[in-house]
Amino acid sequence: MARVKVLKTYKIYIGGAFPRTESGRYYPLYNNNKDLIANICLSSRKDFRNAVVAARAAFGGWSSRAAFNRSQIMYRMGEMLETRKQQFIEELLMQGANAKSAEQEFNNAVDRLIYYAGWCDKYQQIFGTINPVASSHFNFSVPEPTGVVSIMADENSSLIGLIDAIAPVIAGGNTCVVLASESKPLCAVTFAEVINSSDVPGGVINILTGKKDELHSYFSNHMDVNAVVYYGNNTTMIKSIQENATNNVKRVFIYNQKRENPEEFQNPFYILDTQEIKTTWHPIENIGVGGAKY
Amino acid sequence: MGKKTTNSLDFTSGWAYAPAPEDTKHIQLKKQYDLFIDGKFVKPTKGKYFETVNPANEEVIASVAEADENDVNKAVKAARNAYQKVWGKMPGAERGKYIYRIARLMQERARELAVIESMDGGKPIRESRDIDIPLAANHFFYYAGWADKLNYAFPNRKPKALGVAGQIIPWNFPLLMAAWKIAPALACGNTVVLKPAETTPLTALKLAEIIQESGLPEGVVNIITGAGKTGATLVNHPDINKIAFTGSTDVGKIIQKAIAGTSKKSTLELGGKAANIVFDDAPIDQAVEGIINGIFFNQGHVCCAGSRLFIQENVADMVIQKLKDRMETLIVGNPLDKNTDIGAINSKAQLNTINNYLKIGKDEGAELYQSSCSIPKKGYFCRPTLFLNTSQSHRIVQEEIFGPVLTIQTFRTVEEVIEKANNIPYGLSAGVWTDKGSKIFNLTTKLRAGVVWANTYNKFDPTSPFGGYKESGFGREGGLHGLSAYLEF
C-alpha cells in the first residue's frame, strides 16, 4: 500500500510566527488541471494590522543594526533558499511554470538576494554626500530607512516577484508587510520558512496571503505605515492606493515594468526609493589662521 | 518655574537704539503687476486684480493680477511650447549659462529685492538682506553648474527632464522658495509655471523682470499670481508633469490626493514642529542663542522652526531664565529698521491664527510668558512668546503654529527625549545641543527628521538637501539630492 503523503498547511507569517488567518477564511488554489493544491489563508484587516504592529516593533532594531550584519543575514537567506531548491521548483511547477522557467526563476531569486545582500553596507556610500556649505559648518547627508513599508507583490510571479519586492526594502533597513501573489501564493509561504531559519528578526518581514481587492485599501490607509509599494497595472487600484496614502503622506511606489529583462529589478535605486535623506549640520570652530599648510 | 535671575540685566536705561531705517527710495515698484507668461507681462483674462499689503503698516503696496483657468492654460501652454522647442533641446552648458545670468542679476539687484521682500512680507531687513536674497541668488548659482553635469550625479543612469513643472510656494521665504523651485527645475531641463503666495507676490514678479532681462527664452519660466484657486487649477492641469509644493501639510495632502491616478510626479515640503533639545552639558549661552534663532527667526514663520523646546530637567530653570532675559532684548517692530529682530506677522489671517493658538494654550492650562517689549500700534505684530508647563498632548505642542511661539518641556533621560521628540506626525527638522560628540550622533541618528542641526539651528545652503520625513512631506530640495526631483531615468 502506498504511503499516505503528509500535506502542508499554508499559513501566513506575522512577527516571526506562522498563525492561521484570524478571519478563519480561505480560498482554494487549483493547478492547471483543476486539482486542488492547497487551501490558502484569506488574510483580513486584523491580520494586516497585527503585521504592522510586528513590523513597527521590529523597525528600531532592524534599522539600527550594523549594515554589515543586515548584509550577512540577507546572505544567509540566500543560502537557505538555495538549499530548498527542489521544494521551490516543485511549487513553481504546481503553479504552472515549466521545468526550464522554474529553474531559471529560482536561480534568479537566489542571485537577487545575494545581489541586495551585498548592497546593505554600500548604498549609503553611493547615495550619501558631504555637502560643501559656504558657512563654517560640517554638513553631510545620509540615507535612512523610511520605516514600515506595505507591499503588494507582483501578481504574475510566485518567487522572483516576491524577492524583488522584499529585498531592496529590507536591505535598506525598513521592515515590511507583504501581500503575496493571489494566484501564485505558494512560494511566498515557503519563503517565510526560509526567512524564519535565516536569523531575520521576527517582524522584519511579514507575509500575508489573500485578495488584493479586499486588502489594498488597508495596505494604503494604515496610519502607521510610512510607504506603500504596488507591483502591477490595475489603474483603479493604483488611484485608490495613491488617494488613501495621502492620509499620512505615505510615499507611494508603483512598479509596472515588464519582467522581460531578468535584471530589470536589480539596481540600488530601488533601495533608495524607500529611504529618506537626512542632513546633519555641525559648526566648525574657525579660530586661527588659514588651513593646514602641510 | 524659577524666579531667580541668573544675571541682573538692566533693560531700562541705555538700551534705546536710534532708528536705523533702510532706504526705500531706490526701489522700483509699479502700482499694478500683470502675469508673466511667455516672456511678457500680460493682463489677466478676466481683468481681476488683488492687493498686496505691507503687514507692518497695513498699507497697500501694489495690485496684482489674479490668474484664472484661461491664464493658467496660457502659462502651461507657453511652458510646454518652450520645453519642446527650445529648453528641452538646449545643451546643458547653455542652459547653465542662462541660470548663471539670473544669479548674477539677482546679486546686482540684491538690495532692492531685500527691501521689497521686507515690505511685502514683514521680515526684518537684516534677514532679507543677509539671508533670503543672497541664498536665493546662490541657489541659482549652484544649480547653474549642475546643468551640464547631471550624468555624474546618477551613476549608471540616464537622467532626462520631466517636462513642465507646476510650482506653488509659500509666503514665508517668497524669493528664496522661488529660487529653490526654479533653479533645479531649469538646470534639469524643465520649464516652469510658478505661483507665488497671494500675500507676498512682489519679489517673484521682480524675479520675472530679472528673467526677462536675462534673455532666458520666452516661456521657460512663467509666473502667475493668485490665491488657492489659481494653485488648484495649476495642480489639476492635465499638461503638467510635476508638482512641487511648499506649504501646509493640510494643503499638501489635498494636492497629493488631487494628482492620485495621474502620471504627475510630486515633491512636497510641508509643515513641521521641530524638537530643539538642550542637554545639561550643552554650551548653554550658545544654546540660548540657538533657541532664540530657532523660534524667532522670521517671526517663527518657518516650517523647520524649533518650536518644541526640550530642556534637560537639571538645567531647565537656568535655561528658561536666560531665555527670558534674552527675549527682553529682542526688538519687535518696523521690518525696514536694521535694528529690528522680529518684524511683522505676514498677514492679518496669520496673526489671527497665532492669537487663537495663544488662547488655546492658555485654555489647555499652559503658562504663557511674553517679553515686555512694545509693539507698533499699526500693522500685525506678536510679542515673542513662551509656553511653560506644556505636555505632549497639548495642541500647542502637537500642531504647527507658524509664529513666534515656543513650547517648553523638560526631560531627564536620552531615551525619554528621543521618544517625545519623535512622537509627532511631523519630521522636518530637529536641533540638539550638547558638547558631547557621541551623544550628538546618538541623537542625530535617532531623530526622525530630514534636517538635524547640532549646536546650531536654522542654517541653509544651496548644497545642503532640505526636506521632511513622515507628514512633513517627501523629496529633497537643495544639493545633489534636489536634482532627482526634476528628473526621470
CA atoms within 13 A on the CB side of A229: 30
Per the CB < 8 A criterion, the answer to whether B180 and B139 are in contact is: yes
**Upper half-sphere CA count for residue A264 (Cβ side, 13 Å):** 11
By annotation, the residues of B acting in catalysis are 269, 303
What CATH code is carried by the domain that includes residue B78?
3.40.605.10
- Alpha-carbon distances, residue B242 vs A42, B220, B259, B267, B370 (angstroms): 38, 15, 10, 8, 43
Q: B216 lies in a domain? A: yes
Whether B225 maps to a domain, the answer reads yes
Are residues B164 and B313 both part of a single domain? no
Angle at CA B151, nearest 5°, toward B148 and B156?
175
Give the closest residue to B309 by CA, choosing from B324, B329, B330, B328: B324
Q: Does residue B117 belong to any structural domain of this protein?
A: yes
Looking at the fold, whether B256 and B289 belong to one and the same domain comes out as no
Q: Do B70 and B147 lie in a common domain?
A: yes
Distance from CA of B353 to the nearest CA of A (A): 23
**For residue B2, what pLDDT is reported?**
45
| Percent of chain B whose pLDDT exceeds 70 | 97
- Do B63 and B209 lie in a common domain? yes
Domain extent, residue B426, equals 275-454
In a domain, B334, yes or no: yes
Q: Are A109 and A159 in contact (CB under 8 A)?
A: yes
Could you read off the pLDDT of B365-410 as tens digits, one per residue? 999 999 999 999 999 999 999 999 999 999 999 999 999 999 999 9
* Residue B10 is assigned to a structural domain of this protein: no
Interface predicted TM-score (ipTM) of this complex, two decimals = 0.95
φ, ψ at A141 (rounded to 5°):
-125, 135
pLDDT at position A57 over 60: yes
- Kindly write down the DSSP assignment for every residue of A16-41, as one continuous string: TB-PPPTT--EEEEE-TTS-EEEEEE
Task: Calculate how close chain A gets to B458, using CA atoms only, in Å.
Answer: 10
Q: Are residues B435 and B479 located together in one domain of the fold?
A: no
Q: Are residues B284 and B190 in the same domain?
A: no
Report yes or no: B454 at the A interface, CB cutoff 8 Å.
yes
pLDDT at B1: 45
Residues B258 and B282 in one domain: no
pLDDT at A262: 77
B296 and B429 assigned to the same domain: yes
Task: Flag residues of chain B having pLDDT under 70.
Answer: 1-15
Domains of chain A listed by start with CATH number? 26-275 (3.40.605.10)
Nearest residue to B376 via CA among B56, B116, B58:
B56
Residues paired with residue A39 on neighbouring β-strands, in sequence order: A28
Residues 154-193 of B with CB under 8 A from A: 155-157
Taking CA atoms, what residue in A is nearest to B459?
A281
Q: CA of B269: which chain A residue's CA is closest? A: A249
Are both B475 and B359 inside the same structural domain? no
What is the DSSP secondary structure assignment for residue B156, as one 8-state letter? Answer: T
Q: Residue B169: inside a domain, yes or no?
A: yes
CA distance A286 to chain B (A): 15
Residue B9 in domain: no
Question: Does residue B128 lie in a domain region?
Answer: yes
How far is CA A267 from each of CA A114, A171, A271, rounded to the nearest angstrom?
12, 12, 8
Q: How many domains does chain B have?
A: 2
CATH of the domain at B399: 3.40.309.10
Both B436 and B298 in one domain: the answer is yes
Cα–Cα distance measured from residue B268 to residue B467, given in angstroms and rounded to the nearest whole number: 8
* Closest CA relative to residue A155, chosen from A259, A39, A252: A259
Distances (CA, A) of A77 to A117, A123, A261: 9, 19, 24
pLDDT, tens digit, 9 for 90 and up, residues A6-48 = 988 999 999 999 999 999 999 999 998 999 999 999 999 999 9
In 3D, which of B135, B115, B110 has the Cα closest to residue B125?
B115
Asked if B216 and B316 sit in the same domain, the reply is no
Q: What is the pLDDT of residue B40?
A: 98
Residues B76 and B181 in one domain: yes
Contact assignment for B471 to A281 by CB distance below 8 Å: no
